[in-house]
Structure 1
């Protein structure tokens, strides 16, 4: 897969290395000359350009890339690149970094963003996930805010203990993805039992989350 990354700072370079390890073809676009360090990621193609300039993106053959990652430290630049990638070059998947959580509401399909990644929100979610028992924690937003990856750690005395997965009365537009139990990652089968202390990961539509809480006996 061909992936273009705008922003060759620490974040962009780290993403590039991970993608290259997975055998993807990566291009790094960087506006600041002093951030151009080809030796830091020698397997990537490096382009010195402003990713907000249409002509420079044309020169870089942006239309040939399947994924664009807007990873600069400037939210305005990330939004402009996302819009250009989607509307001018027909890029199939656009992922954008959100630097200031106050701007998160802008990062949606109207700006060409398929997935918005907010580091502060993700860190806060991980903290909540580590300390919260008995409530839903949103880990990630999917499909431009239409669905979320949510997690719950069931209390030891959950009334669901011993109940088979197939007996869970989950709402429509909600799916149990995996069960984390101790050091195990369990792909749930219909007859697998639920146990107290299980971490359950769901993909759920936003308007189904309240119904999910009821199904998991989190609300009376």
Structure 2
């Protein structure tokens, strides 16, 4: 997979190292020469320039990229880079970092953003996940299709305990995509028997999320 990353700061560099270690072809765009020089990109290609500039993105390989990750510390730059990647280069998937939670509403399909990642939102979700077994927790918003990745941990005494996946009337627009038990993923096939403390992961839009909450939480 070919990936272009905008931003060689701590976030962008970390993503670049992970992707390169997994065998992906990675180019990193950074406008600050000192930041580019300091970054340990572990073999990823570095392009010096502004990720909101068409020529710079072209030099970074955006035309043939599968994914663009906008990971700078500037929300405006992340939005523009995502929009250019989608509209000018036809990049199939864009992931954008949201630095200021007040700007979260901007990061949608109109700006070419498929997945908006807000660190405060993720931290909040992780805190809620840790303390609120039995509640439905939104982990990640996916702008494509307006869906969100949500998680439900089966609490003690819940009616799901001992039920087979196929016997539950899940909302049609909220498919169960994964089950995690004791830290390990398990099959979500109809015959899988659910257990206490299982973590269930769903992809659901807002309406289906409400139906899920009524089904699981009451």
Larger Rg: 1
The answer on whether the counterparts of 2:3 and 2:68 sit within 8 Å (CA) in structure 1 is yes
Give structure 1 stretches of 5+ with no counterpart: none
- Give structure 1 regions of 4+ aligned residues with deviation exceeding 4 angstroms: none
**Structure 1 residues 40, 181: CA separation in 2 closer, same or farther (over 3 Å shift)?**
closer
**Structure 1 residues 39, 197: CA separation in 2 closer, same or farther (over 3 Å shift)?**
closer
Q: What is aligned with 1:133?
A: 133
1:27-176 maps to which residues of 2 (within 5 A)? 27-37=27-37, 40-144=40-144, 146-176=146-176
Q: What is aligned with 2:182?
A: 182
Q: CA deviation at 1:30?
A: 0.5
Find the aligned partners of 1:208 and 1:131 in 2 and give their Cα distance: 24
The alignment's TM-score, normalised by the length of structure 1, stands at: 0.92
Find the aligned partners of 2:184 and 2:141 in 1 and give their Cα distance: 25
Q: What is aligned with 2:8?
A: 8
The answer on whether the counterparts of 1:155 and 1:196 sit within 8 Å (CA) in structure 2 is yes
Find the aligned partners of 2:59 and 2:195 in 1 and give their Cα distance: 56
Paired residues, what number?
Answer: 218
The alignment's TM-score, normalised by the length of structure 2, stands at: 0.93
Segment of structure 1 superposing worse, 13-22 or 53-62: 53-62
Find the aligned partners of 2:71 and 2:91 in 1 and give their Cα distance: 16
Find the aligned partners of 1:136 and 1:39 in 2 and give their Cα distance: 39
SS of 2:175 mapped into structure 1: strand
**Structure 1 residues 181, 135: CA separation in 2 closer, same or farther (over 3 Å shift)?**
same
**Structure 1 residues 13, 31: CA separation in 2 closer, same or farther (over 3 Å shift)?**
same
**Structure 1 residues 185, 65: CA separation in 2 closer, same or farther (over 3 Å shift)?**
closer
Segment of structure 1 superposing worse, 39-48 or 170-179: 39-48
The answer on whether the counterparts of 1:66 and 1:91 sit within 8 Å (CA) in structure 2 is yes
The answer on whether the counterparts of 2:113 and 2:143 sit within 8 Å (CA) in structure 1 is no
SS of 1:200 mapped into structure 2: strand
SS of 1:29 mapped into structure 2: strand
Find the aligned partners of 1:214 and 1:39 in 2 and give their Cα distance: 48
The answer on whether the counterparts of 2:177 and 2:201 sit within 8 Å (CA) in structure 1 is yes
CA deviations on 1:91-118 (whole Å, 9 max, x unpaired) are 1111111000110100111111111111
Q: CA deviation at 1:213?
A: 2.1
Find the aligned partners of 2:197 and 2:58 in 1 and give their Cα distance: 53
The answer on whether the counterparts of 2:20 and 2:42 sit within 8 Å (CA) in structure 1 is no
Give structure 2 stretches of 5+ with no counterpart: none
SS of 1:89 mapped into structure 2: coil
Find the aligned partners of 1:177 and 1:43 in 2 and give their Cα distance: 34
Find the aligned partners of 1:59 and 1:196 in 2 and give their Cα distance: 52
What is the alpha-carbon root mean square deviation over aligned residues? 1.7
